[in-house]
Amino acid sequence: MMGRVAEMLRALGARIVDSWIWRVGFATRFFWLILKESGTSFRRFHLTIREIYFAGVMSLIIILVSGLFVGMVLALQGYDTLVRYGSSEALGVLVALSLVRELGPVVAGLLFASRAGSAITAEIGLMKATEQLSAMEMMAVDPMARVVAPRFWAGVISMPLLAALFSAMGVFGAYLVGVRLIGVDEGSFWSQMQAAVDFREDILNGFIKSLVFGVAVSWIAVFEGYDAPPTAEGVSGATTRTVVTSSLAILALDFVMTALMFRGA
């Protein structure tokens, strides 16, 4: 009996060490390697621009449309609650703060992980599976500098911009529903928003969040792609892991950052 328990504990430990701790260590070393090889991404910025196009510009549609709908829903729900307390003119503040502080970075991050993160993982994984990365290395070109680092930085640069656009579209959606459709006073909608949203406290913190999510998602995406077993199952598994791990990382990091940033001062 004891022997079997010990055996199970040993198997569990081996699993955690092999599949988890080992990978975290490897991913951390991989992260330093990206930073070390980042020179090319900025010296030859057109490489990064190209990836910003694929990761950022190609994600615009889903980010803008989602932002619009999230803003419209926030306005409907927010109005429904606020009107009970007779403060429906605070709708602009409610929507803007929710978007800038939380929903903008978080939802844009989740969408970015599923739209761009999965694509980056699949692309790097397939490049590895079809020996394109080995071929590059044999041509004395480091794939970390030429393939991985530009994609990483493209993600880091795109993410805050996408989050900002998401929030802007959300505010616009709330304006359409709140002011145009429901008839909240336009002047108080905008002026209260302007008065209550603080640049450092709200916008800067939201920006920092989106930057951190950008680093997390891009790091996970390039690592999973580079580490994917060079087979069809390997690449599909890695793509799934990118979306799952990034989403969990975004939600966990968001909680930690919210706890640190907003203490209700």
Q: Check residue 139 for interaction with other proteins (CB under 8 A).
A: yes
Q: Check residue 32 for interaction with other proteins (CB under 8 A).
A: no
The correct pick among 5, 24, 138, 265 for binding other proteins (CB under 8 A) is 138
Give the range of 86-94, 128-136, 153-161, 240-248 binding other proteins by CB under 8 A: 128-136
Q: Check residue 135 for interaction with other proteins (CB under 8 A).
A: yes
Whichever of 126 and 168 has its CB closer to other proteins, that residue is: 126
Q: Which of residues 194-223 bind other proteins (CB under 8 A)?
A: none
Q: Check residue 2 for interaction with other proteins (CB under 8 A).
A: no
Q: Check residue 5 for interaction with other proteins (CB under 8 A).
A: no
Whichever of 132 and 258 has its CB closer to other proteins, that residue is: 132
Give the range of 24-32, 60-68, 98-106, 126-134 binding other proteins by CB under 8 A: 126-134
Q: Check residue 102 for interaction with other proteins (CB under 8 A).
A: no
Q: Check residue 132 for interaction with other proteins (CB under 8 A).
A: yes
CA distances from 98 to 59, 77, 106, 188, 255 (A): 22, 12, 11, 18, 14
User: Least distance to other proteins from the beta carbon of 127, Å?
Assistant: 8
Q: Check residue 46 for interaction with other proteins (CB under 8 A).
A: no
The correct pick among 28, 77, 81, 134 for binding other proteins (CB under 8 A) is 134
Q: Check residue 130 for interaction with other proteins (CB under 8 A).
A: yes
Q: Site residues (CB under 8 A) for other proteins? A: 126-127, 130-132, 134-142, 146
